[in-house]
Amino acid sequence: MSARPPTPPASTLATTTGSLARLVEEARHVPMRAVVRRLDEVVWGSLVLVVAAAGCVGAAMADQAGRQAMRLIGDQSFIGLEYPVLGVQEFCPLVTALVLAQRVGAGFAAELASLVVDGTLDALRLFHARPTARRIAPMALALPPGSVVLGVIAVVVWELAGIVAMFARSQVNPFTFFHPEAVSKPMLVELVGKCALFGACVFVGATTAALRARNHGDVGRATTDAVVVGTLLCLLVNVVVDVAWLVA
């Protein structure tokens, strides 16, 4: 396989835009089994990491919030009301997104870039095997719902981690700390919306980076770029959604 010349950014953007347009066009040809397999890969493959990340970050946040509240006002009772809100609105979607960018984004970009440089995508296209519908679209359809499922699991783990941390540090009764009524329906809608958007961002980051690969040396770079673009896109979308939420 001979090395192809590097692609200028404008051409890359056109390629990505073209691929995304093809993705929409070929959505009806996507095999459901492939989507389910990708969903399985996204959710089960990332579950341990999301649980570890949400649990560790949640326990650290609860512990710090409790200690600072005691130091400043000598009262921790309001932490139980604020802590699930912080998790639902901010940290659980963000932690899930960062994990997905590092794990799924990197993995998918490496896989897709390998297909590009090996010429597999071109070969499939030549034989009318619909590579976009079979290889790319299943991940596009699996990442947003997979991200939502992981985000919801992260919220549960976050709350449990907070309960354990507060009990271990300050012997706060778990039933006193647990305040599910603090989370309103609009906050849950925000959680689902953010997670779905972050899933889409991870996919866009990975696809954009992978389609730029031209030779074997580019696979590592595509993986790197996928994580960077995915991470920064998720942070940007998070700020935009937060501002919109605040203004609304």
Partner 1 sequence: MSAVGPATGAVADSDDASFARVFDGAGALMRRAGQVAGAVVRGRCDARETLRLVHDALVDASWTALVGAVLIGGIVGLQGLGYLTRYFATEVFGWAAALSAFRDVGPLLLAFALAARVGTKNAAQVATLAARERIDALCALGLDPHAVVTAPRVVAVVLAALLLYPLSALVILLVAFVFAGVLGGQSLAASAWSVTTYVQPAVLWEGLLRLAAFAAIIGLCTTHAGLSLWQRGDASAAAIGGAVYRGSVLSLTGIVVVNLVASWFGSAG
- Contact set with partner 1 (CB under 8 A): 49, 52-53, 56-57, 59-61, 63-64, 67-68, 70-72, 82, 86, 90, 94, 98-99, 101-103, 106-107, 109-111, 113-114, 117-118, 169, 216-217, 219-224, 227-228, 230-232, 235-236, 238-239, 242-243, 246-247
**Residue (70 or 152) nearer to partner 1, CB:** 70
**Residue (30 or 238) nearer to partner 1, CB:** 238
Least distance in Å: CB of 128 to partner 1? 26
Least distance in Å: CB of 24 to partner 1? 27
**Residue (99 or 191) nearer to partner 1, CB:** 99
d(CA 150, CA 174): 24
**Residue (57 or 149) nearer to partner 1, CB:** 57
d(CA 93, CA 86): 10
**Residue (30 or 162) nearer to partner 1, CB:** 162
Least distance in Å: CB of 227 to partner 1? 4
Least distance in Å: CB of 101 to partner 1? 7
Which residue, chain included where needed, has tokens 């896109």?
Answer: 233
Least distance in Å: CB of 231 to partner 1? 4
- Per the CB < 8 A criterion, the answer to whether 211 and 12 are in contact is yes
Which residue, chain included where needed, has tokens 């946040």?
Answer: 61
Least distance in Å: CB of 117 to partner 1? 6
**Residue (17 or 64) nearer to partner 1, CB:** 64
What b/e sequence results for 119-152 when a residue is b if at least 16 CB atoms lie within 10 Å of its CB, and e otherwise? eebeebeeeeebbbbebbbbbbbbbbbbbbbbbb
d(CA 62, CA 85): 12
Q: What is the DSSP string of 31-72?
A: -HHHHHHHHHHHHHHHHHHHHHHHHHHHHHHHHHHHHHHHHH
d(CA 51, CA 225): 25
**Residue (16 or 114) nearer to partner 1, CB:** 114
CA atoms within 13 A of residue 6's CA, in its CB half-sphere: 7
Least distance in Å: CB of 111 to partner 1? 7
**Burial class of 75 by CB neighbour count within 10 A (0 to 12, 13 to 18, 19+):** exposed
